Amino acid sequence: MIPLITSIIAITLSAGTSLVYATIGEIYTERSGILNLGIEGMMLMSAVTAFATAFHTGSLLLAVLLAMLVGMLLALIHAFLSITMRANQVVSGLSITLFGTGLASFLGQSLGPASNRFNLTGMSAVKFTRLQVEGLGEIPLLGAVFNQDPLTYIVYLLIPVAWYFMYKTKFGLNLRSVGENPQTADAMGLSVTKIRYLYTIFGGMLVGIGGAHLSLAYTPGWTENITGGRGWIVIALVIFSMWNPSRAILGAILFGGINAVQFRLQASGTDIPSAYLNMAPYVATILVLVLVTVWESHNRKVGPPAALGTSYMREDK
Amino acid sequence: MQLVFEKRKSVSRRAIVLVPILSFIVSLILTGFLLLAFKANPFRTYIAMFIGAFGSWSNFTETLVKATPLMLTGLGVTIAFKLRFWNIGAEGQLVFGGVAAAWVALFWSPFLPAWSLLPMVMLVGMLAGAMWAGIPALLKTRLNVDETLVTLMMNYIAILFAEGLYYGVWRDPDGYGFPGTKPFPEAAWLPRFSGRAHMGLFIAIGIGLLLWVAMNRTKWGFELNMIGKNQKAARCLGVNVKRNILIALLISGALSGLAGVSEVTAISHRLQQGIAMGYGYTAIIVAWLSQLNPIAGLFVAVLMAGLLVGGDQIQMMMGLPAAMGLVLQGMILFPMLAGSLFTEYRIKRIDPRNSRVAESNEELSV
C-alpha cells in the first residue's frame, strides 16, 4: 500500500508541475489586468519547441530557454493586441490558442528527421530524469517529494518566491494596483502600459517552462495534443487559487492527483472504459469552477482583479 | 509632433469592409515567411492551395462539404458572441448533436415510419446541441459561472463521450475493429447533390439569411444587440437579459448540433472517429472575421473551408504538412484584431507646443 501511495504522490507532483508554472504565470498576467486565454496554444508551442530543440541539439538547458522565449513571444503578441491595439482580450487570447495549436501541429510535422518523414511524433530525445535527494528520498511517502526532476524542484522554490514578490514587495503592490484600478495607478505615476506588458510577457515565460516540462519530463516526446486541455484547466486554476500564487499548489495537487489516479487505474486494468476515466479532469474543472464561483459570490472580499479584461485608455475617461 | 488615437463619432463603414480583407492578405504574407523558412515557394504553395480548393467542380464540392459545418457552427458562435457570451463550445455541441443523431438513426428506426426518421434525427440532434449549450448558459445566468471555461470543458467531455461509444458499446461488430458504429439505415441519410456535397449546405445558407433578418430587422435582434453592447443599460430598459441569453444559446447550440447531424447523416453515415475535426474552433474565426454578420459569415466559412481543403491538397502534392491551412487560419485573427481599432478610433496628429489636449495625452502617444 505504501509504495502505491508513494507512487501516486510522485505522479501527482510531476503531473502538477506544468500546471503550477502556467498557473503562476497566468496569475501574474491577470493581476495586471490582462486576461490571457492563449495558454493552451502557448503550452503547445513551447512543448514542441522544447522537444524539437532537445531532439536536435541534445541540450535540455537550450530546450527550456527556447520554450521560455516562445512563450514570451506569443505573450508579446497578446500584449500588443490587447494593450496597444485595445483588442478584445477574450478573442485575442483565443486567437493565440488557435494559432499556437495550428503552428505547433505544423512544426511537429516538419521539424522531425527526414527518416521519419519530418515527423516529430514517435521520436525520443534527451529528457529530464528524476534526481533523488540524498537521504530524504528514501523516507516512506514523503520521499516522493524528493524524487523528482529538476523543473519540479524549481517549482518548490517558485511558489513562495512568487507569493513573496506579489504581497511583500513594492513591485508586487504596483502590479496589483494596476490590475485593480489603472486610473489611480496612472495618477500615482505608474506606467499602466509598461507594467501590463511586463507581466503579460513574464507570465508567458512561465507558461513556456510549463510546456517544456510536458514534452521533456512528464510525457517525454511529442504528440499532437500533448497538453490535452491543460492550458484551459490552468485558467480555471487561477480562479480556484483566487489570484494568489501560494494557492496555485492546491489546484495543481487536485488535478495532478486526478491524473495520477487515472494513470494507476488504467495501469491496473479496470473495467471502466478509458474514455470515461479521461473525462474526470474536465468534469472536475466544471465542478470546481461552479463551487468556487458560488463561494465567491457569498464572500465579497475575494474575486478577480477589478480591471481584469478591460483595456485602459486615458483619453476615454 | 505626436500621434494619438481619437475615438470616432461613429464606426467607420469603410474600415469594417477593408480590415478583414487586409487581414487575410497580411496573414498570407506572414505565413509566406514561414513557408520560406521551410524552403517552400509561397506563391506556388498558395496557387496549389487555391487550385486544390476551388480549381475544379469536384474540388469545390469538397470545399462546400467542409464549408457546411463551418457555416452552421459559425452562425451558432455568431449569435452567442453578439451577446458577448463567449461560447467556445461549438465543437462539443457539434459532437453531441452527432451522438444524438446516431442514437436515433441506429435505435429508433424500428419504431418510426421511414419518412419520419431523418426529420426525427435532425430534431433530436439539434435538441442535443441545444442542451450542450444550455448547461453553460444556465450556469452563467443562474450562478454567474464563467462560460468560456465551461463551454470548453464540455468539448472534451462530449468528444470523450462519443469515443467511449464508438470504441465501446456502439462499436460495429462487423467493422474489423474500426472505431465507428454500424452504418445508419438509408432512411436516415441526408441526401447529397454533387460529390459529397449535401443538402445541409442549403439549410445552412437558409438559416444564415434568416438569422440576418432576425438580427437586423426584429425586436429580438435589437435586444441581442443592446445586451451585447451594454448589459446594464439593456436591463434598465426592461430587456430580460437572462432569458435572452438562454434562448440565444439554445439556438446557438442547436445550430452546432445540426452541423454534427449533417456530418454523420450525409458524410460518414455512421458515428465514427473523426467527428471532432475542429470545425467548432474554426467557427470562432468565422464569426469574428465576419464581424458577427451572418451573411458575411457564410462567405467566410467557404474561405476557411478552402484553406482546409487547400491544406490537404498541398500535403498530397507538395509534401507540406496539412496543418499549413490551420496556421493560415490562426494567423488571420491577429491583423484582424489589431485592425479593428481603426473601426472605432482614428489616428490623429497633434502638435504638443500649442495644444492642451496634447499635454494630457503625452505618454500615450505612439
- B12 in contact with chain A, both atoms CB, cutoff 8 A: no
The shortest C-alpha distance from A299 to chain B (Å) reads 14
Stronger pLDDT, A67 or A276, i.e. the higher one: A67
Cα A15 from Cα A148, distance rounded (Å): 11
Residues of A in contact with B347 (CB under 8 A): none
Among A158-172, A268-282, B125-139, the least confident range: A268-282
Q: Could you tell me where the beta strands, DSSP code E, fall in chain B?
A: 2-7, 192-194, 197-198, 345-350
Q: C-alpha grid cell for residue B101?
A: 443523431
Do residues A257 and A12 make contact, with C-beta atoms less than 8 angstroms apart?
yes
Structure letter (DSSP) for residue B274: T
Statement: residue B361 has pLDDT above 50: no
Mutation site for B-interface testing, chosen from A44, A80, A91 by largest number of B Cβ within 10 Å:
A91
Q: What is the mean pLDDT of residues B295-307?
A: 96
pLDDT in tens, A206-264: 999 999 999 999 999 999 889 999 999 999 999 999 999 999 999 889 999 998 888 88
- Report the distance separating Cα B262 and Cα B69, nearest Å: 8
CA B130 to chain centre: 16
Interface of B with A in 244-303 (CB under 8 A): 281-282, 284-285, 288
Chain A interface includes B145 (CB < 8 A): yes
Exposed/middle/buried for B351, CB within 10 Å: 0-12, 13-18, 19+? exposed
Cα torsion B52, B54, B60, B63 to 10°: value is 70
Stated as kind and residue range, the H or E segment containing B72 is helix B57-82
Give the number of beta-carbon pairs within 8 Å between A and B: 152
pLDDT, position A1: 79
DSSP per-residue codes, A16-55: HHHHHHHHHHHHHHHHTT---TTHHHHHHHHHHHHHHHHH
Mean pLDDT of B305-314: 93
Are B322 and B312 in contact by the 8 Å Cβ rule? The answer is: yes
| Beta-carbon count within 10 A of A267 CB | 9
DSSP characters for B165-203? HHHTTT--TTSTT-SB-PPPPGGGPPPEEETTEETHHHH
| Residue B156 pLDDT level (bands cut at 50, 70, 90) | very high
Rounded to 5 degrees, what are φ and ψ at A135? 85, -60
B232 interfacial to chain A (CB closer than 8 Å):
no
R_g (Cα) of chain B, nearest Å = 23
The answer to whether B104 touches B185, Cβ cutoff 8 Å, is: no
Q: Name beta bridge partners: B349.
A: B3
Assess whether pLDDT exceeds 70 at residue B91. yes
Q: How many whole angstroms separate alpha carbon A296 and alpha carbon A74?
A: 31
Q: Residue B342: pLDDT above 90?
A: no
Q: Which of A77, A275, A285 sits opposite B163 (nearest CB)?
A: A275
**CB-CB under 8 Å, A102 with B327:** yes
Q: Do A239 and B160 touch (CB under 8 A)?
A: no
* Run of H or E including B311: helix B294-318
Which of A35, A89, A98 best tests the B interface by mutation, with the highest count of B CBs <10 A?
A: A98
What is the rounded distance in angstroms from the CA atom of residue A107 to the CA atom of residue A95?
A: 18
Chain centroid to Cα B181, Å, comes to 26
Q: B345 - beta bridge partners?
A: B7
Place of cell 495549436: A101
Judging contacts by C-beta atoms under 8 Å, the chain B residues touching residue A278 are 160
Q: How confident is the model at residue A279 (pLDDT cuts 50, 70, 90)?
A: very high
- Could you tell me which of A19, A20, A11 has the C-alpha nearest to residue A160? A20
**How high is the ipTM of this complex?**
0.91
Q: Give the three cell numbers for residue A195.
A: 507594467
Q: CA of A295: which chain B residue's CA is closest?
A: B143
pLDDT reported for residue B359: 42
Share of chain B above pLDDT 90, in %: 74
In 3-state terms, what secondary structure has residue B204? Answer: helix
pLDDT band at B352 (very low <50, low <70, confident <90, very high): low
Residue owning grid cell 482583479: A305
Cα maximum dimension of chain B: 84
pTM above 0.80, yes or no: yes
Say whether B329 and A102 touch across the interface (CB within 8 A): yes
Instruction: Give B-chain residues touching A86 at CB under 8 angstroms.
Output: 341, 345
Residues 6 or more apart whose Cβ sits within 8 Å of residue B365:
B2, B3, B4
Q: Are the Cβ atoms of A275 and B363 closer than 8 angstroms? A: no
B60, pLDDT greater than 50:
yes
B337 touches chain A (CB under 8 A): yes
Measured distance between the N- and C-terminal CA atoms of chain A, rounded to whole angstroms: 63
